[in-house]
C-alpha cells in the first residue's frame, strides 16, 4: 500500500491482550506510550481477574518492546506530527488493537488518522469512527465470525519479513505525503 501511494512505510506495534486459554479473543490491547485499551465486555463476561489481566499485559508489554527493537533496527519512528497517517491491519475482530494503535498514534499529534482494513464487522467500524478520522474496510461480512475467514492464507508474518519490508520501504520517496 505504501509503495502504491508513494508514501513512507513504518511499523506501529501494538499487542492484543488475549483472554487466558482463549488467546485469539482480545480482552484489550496495549500500544507504545503506555496506551492500554480494555474490552470491558469481554473481561466481565468471562470473569477475567485483575491479576490475570495484569499478567497478560506485562507479558505483552515485553513482547511489544522486543518487536519494536527488532523491527526498527535502531531507526527512529517516522515523524507524523501534522501529517495524515494510514493505519493498516489484517482486519478487525473486537477492534481493541486498532483502538490502541489510534490512541498511541494520537499522542504523536498527526493531522489525520485513517484506518484501513480488508475485513471487519460493521459495528466495530462504526464504533471506531469516534476515534479515527476515517475508517475504511473492503468487506463487512454478516455474520462476521473471524478475520481469518476472509483469507485463503492467514499465516503469520515473520520478524525477518517485517524487517525486509521496512528496509524496502526506506527506498520509497516520502514526498509531501
Q: Is residue 52 part of a domain?
A: yes
Summarised one tens digit per residue, pLDDT across range 99-115 is 999 999 999 999 999 99
pTM recorded for the entire structure: 0.88
**90 is a domain residue:** yes
In order of 2, 21, 53, the CA distances from 8 in angstroms are 6, 38, 35
Q: Is the pLDDT of residue 177 over 60?
A: no
Evaluate whether 46 touches 19 at the Cβ level (below 8 Å). Answer: yes
Residue numbers of the domain that contains 81: 11-152
Does a structural domain hold residue 85?
A: yes
Structural domains of the chain, count: 1
Residue 172: per-residue pLDDT: 45
In a domain, 30, yes or no: yes
CATH value at residue 139: 3.30.1310.20
Give CA–CA dist 101/42, Å, rounded. 19
- Say if residue 173's pLDDT is above 80: no
Q: Residue 70: inside a domain, yes or no?
A: yes
Give tens-digit pLDDT for 34-78: 999 999 999 999 999 999 999 999 999 999 999 999 998 888 989
Amino acid 58: pLDDT: 97
- Residue 5 lies inside a defined structural domain of this protein: no
- The answer to the question of residue 177 being in a domain is no
Mean pLDDT over 105-130 rounds to: 96
Mean pLDDT of 26-40: 94
Q: Does 172 reside within a domain?
A: no
The per-residue pLDDT of the chain, averaged, comes to: 91
Amino acid at each position: 500500500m505504501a509503495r502504491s501511494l508513494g508514501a513512507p512505510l513504518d511499523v506501529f506495534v501494538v499487542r492484543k491482550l488475549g483472554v487466558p486459554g482463549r488467546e485469539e479473543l482480545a480482552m484489550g490491547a496495549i500500544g507504545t506510550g503506555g496506551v492500554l485499551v480494555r474490552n470491558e465486555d469481554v473481561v466481565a463476561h468471562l470473569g477475567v481477574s485483575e491479576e490475570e489481566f495484569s499478567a497478560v499485559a506485562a507479558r505483552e508489554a515485553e513482547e511489544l518492546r522486543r518487536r519494536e527493537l527488532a523491527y526498527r533496527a535502531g531507526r527512529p519512528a517516522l515523524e507524523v506530527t501534522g501529517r495524515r497517517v494510514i493505519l493498516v491491519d489484517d482486519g478487525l475482530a473486537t477492534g481493541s488493537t486498532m483502538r490502541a494503535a489510534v490512541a498511541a498514534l494520537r499522542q504523536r499529534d498527526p493531522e489525520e488518522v485513517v484506518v484501513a482494513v480488508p475485513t471487519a464487522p460493521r459495528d466495530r467500524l462504526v464504533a471506531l469512527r469516534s476515534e479515527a478520522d476515517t475508517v475504511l474496510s473492503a468487506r463487512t461480512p454478516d455474520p462476521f465470525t473471524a478475520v481469518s475467514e476472509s483469507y485463503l492464507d492467514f499465516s503469520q508474518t515473520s520478524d525477518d519479513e517485517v524487517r525486509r519490508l521496512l528496509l524496502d520501504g526506506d527506498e520509497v520517496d516520502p514526498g509531501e505525503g
